[in-house]
Amino acid sequence: MRITGRTRLAGIMGWPVAHSRSPALHNFWIEEHGIDGAYVPLPVRPEQLAEALRALPLLGFRGCNLTLPHKQMALSIVDRVEPLAHRIGAMNTVIVMPDGTLEGRNTDVFGFRENLRERAPDWTPTAGPAVVLGAGGAARAVVAALIEARVEEIRIVNRTPARAERLADDLAAPATRMTIRTWGERDAALRDAGILINTTSLGMAGEPALKLDLSQSPPTAVVVDIVYVPLETALLVNARQRGHRVIDGLGMLLHQGRPGFEAWFGRPVQVTRELRAAVLTTLTGSR
């Protein structure tokens, strides 16, 4: 990498931020396209998020990504929030506009949609109900993407039903029926399903296993895990053995970076096999 007097800057704010794969992702694209740019980790304490965001235009940054714990708090700090991020209640991308104001976006919906399109091109929203495990921030992005795709029915399965109800209320859309299932009903919820998405932390390295019986789901159902450490979760191994098409969590992570990169560095980028391999090496041995 060569830093010049004109290097464009972007980065990721988080606390902690050292675990983030975004620097590996964005700097791969910077190198690949020979861009005079750099993408740096920005460790920012929650109580200093407003100051840090306000400093972006002053320091010449084009913008940044946000990771835990900043994704919600930033909504009330930036000057404009795109409607989608507002509806989801979280933003992961900040764009510094030409006039120095800050715009907040959520690119997780884009990431999920593009990854699904790439990895399961045959999937259609009419394939059957979508079953979403979890009701956290990731689930909200996934549900928003399924609504955007015009899935007719979404079954939300969560340990804490009140959280699932809040999600369904916040994202309610006329063309999609959302139903809530208890955690104990998760196996039965798979009946007739066209797609299953695990958005919980279960199955992630260091977390408890996801106990799920896939026997009631049609073998045609696509099975998606947004966990990417490990890349091959027990859910995906089991689903593949049963003949399901499976999609791991790395692709969503890679695709969600594209809109920010294009806005900051002015170049459209793709998710290639080489990019996957480069980011995969940063996952090895990590949790």
Catalytically annotated residue among 62, 70, 71, 140: 71
Of 158, 176, 217, 256, which one interacts with ligand ATR (CB under 6 A)?
158
Residue labelled with tokens 């304490």: 45
Q: Are 107 and 93 in contact (CB under 8 A)?
A: yes
Residues 201-260 that bind ligand ATR (CB under 6 A): 201-202, 208
Residue whose CB is less far from ligand ATR, 101 or 179: 179
Q: Residue 225: name the closest of 134, 159, 98, 145 by CA.
A: 134
211 is an active site residue: no
The residue among 201 and 238 lying less far from ligand ATR, judged by its C-beta, is 201
Among 33, 86, 119, 163, binds ligand ATR (CB under 6 A): 163
What is the contact mask toward ligand ATR in residues 84 to 123, using x (rule: CB under 6 A)?
Answer: ----------------------------------------
Q: Which structure tokens are listed for 116? A: 């699904």
Task: Rule CB under 6 A: say whether 160 interacts with ligand ATR.
Answer: yes
What span, in angstroms and rounded, lies between the C-alpha atoms of 56 and 97?
A: 11
Q: Which of 86, 159, 166, 245 binds ligand ATR (CB under 6 A)?
A: 159
Decide the pairing of beta strands 153-158 and 222-225: unpaired
Span from 98-106, 200-208, 244-252, 267-275 in contact with ligand ATR (CB under 6 A): 200-208
CB of 212 to ligand ATR, least distance (A): 11
Who contacts 84 (Cβ-Cβ below 8 Å, separation ≥6)? 105, 106, 109, 144
Task: Tell whether omega for the bond before 46 is within 30 degrees of 0, i.e. cis.
Answer: no
Closest Cα partner for 39 from 25, 18, 53?
A: 25
Report the residue from 10, 91, 138, 227 that binds ligand ATR according to the rule CB under 6 A.
138
Nearest-angstrom CA–CA distance, 283 and 275:
13
For residues 27 and 201, which CB has a smaller minimum distance to ligand ATR in the complex? 201
Instruction: List beta partners, residue 155.
Output: 131, 179
Q: Is the dihedral of CA 7, 11, 17, 21 positive or negative?
A: negative
The residue (of 9 and 180) whose beta carbon lies closer to ligand ATR is: 180
Instruction: Provide the binding-site residues for ligand ATR, judged by CB under 6 A.
Output: 134-139, 158-160, 163, 183, 199-202, 208
Q: Which residues are catalytic?
A: 71
